[in-house]
A and B are shown apart, each in its own frame.
Chain A
Amino acid sequence: MTNDSPPTSALDLAAEFLDRRTPLDRVRGVLHRYPAVSPAVVLVLAIIVFGSINSRFFAPSNLSLILDQVSVVGTVAIAQTLIILTAGIDLSVGAAMILSSMVMAQTAFQNGLPAPIALFLGLVAALAAGALNGFLVTRVKLPPFIATLGTLNVFIALTLLYSGGQTVRKAEMPELMTWTASAFPIGDVRMTVGVIIMIGLYVLVAYALGRTAWGRHVYAVGDDAEAARLAGISTGRVLMSVYVAAGAVLAVAAWIQIGRSGAASPNAGADLNLDSITAVVIGGTSLFGGRGVIWGTLLGAIIVGVFRNGLFLAGVDGLYQTLAIGILIIVAVAVDQWIRKVRK
């Protein structure tokens, strides 16, 4: 905002001072427009630091290993991102995923169904779980935190009741069920099918969020639900579709999980619920909805994996990994708060 004539009154001077754009403001503006920049910077820095502490970190086999290690949480975090973009949160994603994986495994093992049908039934279970959450949020109008807190316990109980606490192992299931663990070795790098599926899903969701009307509606509902409603968007339907889409993503995550563990266990994924939120938050998506890029979540998930792997290779006690992740989360949310203050 420049005046043609030099400012004279104290009011003008004050106005000009307040309107100034410092370099920090410019940074904030960039981060506001491209939310994936901050996690990208953190990731690059982390890789450099950990690589310099232990050069084993840089080995292509190690870097591809990290991708494989985050393939489950990275996929679950896609579902979490969709929900957080609508200014919601889902505490039950991990539990719903485990329920889906047990349905897949048990229908194949106990009922002897062929793998594609078993996988489909797992998808149905996950979609039902998502629909339940969506119903509670859109019809019963519960806050997502409360609704998913309840369904978290429901899914955990259902999983144990259904599976009887029994794990189903690779040898008891058709090969297709663990196909996600098979890998294409390219030199020293191991690219598992699971990682490829995860990245493919990210591309798909990025397209849906960035280039379709549905995606724009998701952002609108998250940014200001009331304004979106007044603009003619059916917020109930958008929210429902988000929760059901999240369910579908969780079914894919369940398939990847079975591949990695070589088993479907009701005790798996103990920390998945919170770890998925961690990935989303570190990835620069705002917890208050309406802002964030799906690629940020992938970066967030990789950052967590990099920190865990890097700290371990550096010979640091496991507790420091937990501490580091905690600090990352706080810094990420604080940066998000700061970015929100940008003045357009």
Chain B
Amino acid sequence: MKNHMSRGKKTLLVGFAASAVAALTLTGCATPASNSGGQGGTGDKIGVSLIVKTNSNPFFVAMQDGAKKAADADGVSLTFAAGKEDGDEDTQIQAIEAAISKGDAGILITPNGPAVLDAIAKAREAGLFVIALDTVPDPADAVDITFATDNFLAGQYIGQWTSATLGDKDAVIGLIDLFDDKAVSVDSNRDQGFLDGLGIGLGDDAVNGDEDATGTLAGGGKYTIVGNEASQGAEDGGRTAMENLLAKNPDINVIYTINEPAAYGAYQALEAVGKDGDDVVIVSVDGGCAGVSQVADGIIDATSQQYPVKMAELGVKAIVDLVKNGTAPKPTDGLDFFNTGVALVTDQPADGVESIDTAEASKICWGGK
């Protein structure tokens, strides 16, 4: 680019850009989130901030809806904030600092990374009660308590269902994970939980892909793991991941997927090569309303349903209880977090594995359609 901008013009452009950035940062600091209903903490209303990972993911949108319901019922002043994308820690840190200066009673947060935990420590020092949602932070005592799904259990349920459905048949397994360049607990928990439910040895249960490629299942049949592919948790990634796995081994008959959009994409790939019949099993986790209807349509065979709306509702209620009665919530027995529950959803129940059918699941599912 042969750019011969005059000195004067260049300074002007730089000055403009700098002041624009300064102005935007200042407004960003002042209002990192949309404020629903006045300032929290000062006055009669209890102030709570809900800070999620990103609001482009319907899972977190469902959380926001749940929190709003509970807030309206209890007269809580709720502030929403979200990172710009999964992993955006800075926006969350700003939101925490805003909550502290607003004088909120508590923060509900799905942390985007370890840097957020430092800001959380500051909030707790300032007297705010901090509840983590959906994922237990590392270390677990970085927050006052976590309301979460046991993602490992969610994986085990679909693994056990698959094992019971297979009986003593052999399994050629494809694993469609979330990322291959980041290590996130939900990714390894669900994947490893699934394999554990099938009776496959895990190696390191925080690492995907380190299992033996062949062996024997709990049901007696032999297994072959074709590989792990990342899907970014979306339909297009799910399709590409499935296609690559099929290219490696066209005889795949068991497919684990990190979430329902990835499962949907994987199904597209199977349909394109005529492998969408009953002998191929797709399992997933999430239990969103869209996912439940896909189980009903036969696109997904079984999914573990989790309850983000409940997480947020319980979170808001817990902070209200704390302020009004001084009672703090306690973790579920045997776990270091409060288990908000997981249920297996399938229309093909298997022996020895508890499940609910899609009609029941669609009454308590989260998210749109």
Contact = CB atoms under 8 A, between A and B. Distances in A.
B248 A312 contact: yes
Contact of A262 (B61, B180, B235): B235
Interface string A56-86: 1001011001001100100000000000000
B55 A270 contact: no
B68 interface: no
Contacts of A224: 2
Nearest to B246: A65
Nearest to B213: A315
Interface in B47-67: 55-58, 61
B32 interface: no
A166 B368 CA distance: 7
Interface stretch (B225-233, B326-334, B353-361): B225-233
A318 B247 contact: no
A312 B244 contact: yes
Interface residues of A, number: 47
A18 B272 CA distance: 60
Contact of B57 (A171, A267, A268, A319): A267
A318 B180 contact: yes
A87 interface: yes
A183 B272 contact: yes
Q: Which of B17, B55, B56, B233 has the most CB of A within 10 A?
A: B56
Contacts of B180: 317-319
B58 A268 contact: no
- The contact size tier of chain B is 35 or more
A160 interface: yes
B4 interface: yes
A181 interface: yes
B104 interface: no
B309 to A, nearest CB: 15
Contact of B56 (A171, A266, A289, A313): A266
Interface string A312-326: 110101110010000
Contacts of A318: 180-181, 228-230
A309 interface: yes
Nearest to B208: A318
Interface string B279-310: 00000000000100000010000000000000
A262 B369 CA distance: 16
Contacts of A32: none
B234 interface: yes
A291 interface: no
Contacts of A288: 1
A167 B268 contact: no
A64 to B, nearest CB: 11
A-B residue pairs, 4 tightest by C-beta: A318-B180, A261-B235, A262-B268, A261-B236
8 contacts: A56-B248, A68-B243, A69-B240, A72-B236, A143-B3, A260-B236, A261-B235, A262-B264
Interface of A: 56, 59, 61-62, 65, 68-69, 72, 87, 143, 146, 160, 164-167, 169, 171, 181, 183, 190, 224-226, 257, 260-263, 265-271, 288-289, 308-309, 312-313, 315, 317-319, 322
